[in-house]
Amino acid sequence: MSSPTDALQRLRRVHEDAVLSTLRAAGALSRAQLTERTGLSRTTMFAIVSGLLERSVLIETEGSAAEPRGRGRPAALVSLNPDAGLLLGLDLGRNRVRLAVANAAHQVVATASADLPGDAGPEEEAETAVRLVREGAAERGLSLGALEAIGLGLVGVVDDPPPQVAAVPARYEPLARRLEDEFGVRLAVDNNARLAALAEATWGVGRSVRDMVYVRWSIGIGGGFITGGRLLRGAHGAGGEVGHVSLDPEGPPCHCGSRGCLEGRAGGRGLLEACAARGLSLPALDALVAAAQDRVPVVCDVVASAAADLGRVLAGTVTQLDPALVVIGGELAGLGSLVLDPIRDAIARQALPRSPREIAVVPADLGVNASAMGAIALLLHEEPSIPAHLRPAVP
């Protein structure tokens, strides 16, 4: 039978976990904001925060003038100690690996990338990722001994069982095992387009809304849905796969097993093929984007038509999910009104056009590092337990 002292210690640990989890997910907050978000009393919050500050688990900084508490000085903010540990995000794309590293205070302290050959196998991908982490940390003087966990963004369907190597699709098992063997930390995985959505909802253009549709328009087309402030994965890990909505059941076969998918028509490879069919051969997606920025007529026609196709698919998504915001990321989003206007027009015409609601369609904020940052956000939002060095001391 436990003593009253044991019960009090357990209760204090529960309260400390609530504070630490809230700060991991939200970043720096005032004590008043912490009290509101955790539901703890002001007296309990003062005691918990004071104890964590004394143990250097938290640090205190002066609040910004943008968030005053009324008259007088802005409220002080508390956050996780930036020196308490590192979180690492990797985005394994089709031809590039991207890295982002954040400290416990949610500050991104390093980004880097490395090319992958088009024919790279699993072992080469794994070695490239490990080398990128090692070199990126060394260049910025970061100690990987402080590494707490790695988030990994992958192409394709990633199911949602417990985050462990067994949960990784077979194609990526060598990568996952190599990372775990090399760094000895927990690994969490998800689809890289969904992770980009999570990053935009955490740090980017979607941080002020709780319901958002995100599309990553690049060589492939993927997406992510934020509903009620949470990332939607679906029952089988296929949530957000807007690129595999079929536009033509009799169309060309797609690698997903269906036919006539949006990705085949509007993804980067489809756009390059459409331009070539009209007499303009371009070597890669970057060249196509540059030509569109230069307003080459053939390219603009192809891209605008693809944007209208994407808009028609998103109109159905918007009708069903009713988001506050539609966010377009990836290389094609940089073309501005050329792609955004056809998407807006299709949504306005086809997604409950008589409804008085307003749904903004905007470009993403975070650029090429969004998925790697989203892998960090995955760790921040869904860490199943507080890291050992952040756990309250047990006498």
Residue 263 is assigned to a structural domain of this protein? yes
Instruction: Check whether residue 260 and residue 383 sit in a common domain.
Output: no
Token pair belonging to 363: 């470009």
For strands 58-61 and 77-80, give the pairing.
antiparallel
> Is pLDDT of 326 > 80?
yes
Instruction: Check whether residue 328 and residue 269 sit in a common domain.
Output: yes
Spacing of C-alpha 42 from chain mean position: 33
DSSP summary character for residue 223: E
Arithmetic mean of pLDDT, 213-234: 93
Instruction: Check whether residue 38 and residue 177 sit in a common domain.
Output: no
Predicted confidence band of residue 170 (pLDDT cuts 50, 70, 90): confident
Instruction: Check whether residue 358 and residue 213 sit in a common domain.
Output: yes
Instruction: Check whether residue 162 and residue 287 sit in a common domain.
Output: no
Q: For residue 16, what are the domain limits?
A: 4-80
> Is pLDDT of 64 > 60?
no
> For residue 4, what are the CA distances in angstroms to 10, 13, 45, 62, 327?
10, 14, 21, 38, 52
Q: Put the strands of the sheet holding 325-329 in their side by side order.
A: 230-232, 221-227, 212-217, 325-329, 360-363
- Of 189, 199, 150, 156, whose CA–CA distance to 369 is shortest? 199
- Cβ atoms 393, 243 nearer than 8 A: no
- Cβ atoms 87, 105 nearer than 8 A: no
Residue 395 is assigned to a structural domain of this protein? no
Instruction: Check whether residue 45 and residue 127 sit in a common domain.
Output: no
pLDDT score of 27: 82
At 89, is the secondary structure helix, strand, or coil?
strand
Instruction: Check whether residue 211 and residue 307 sit in a common domain.
Output: yes
> For 299-323, how does the pLDDT look when each residue is reduced to its tens digit (9 = 90+)?
999 999 999 999 999 999 999 999 9
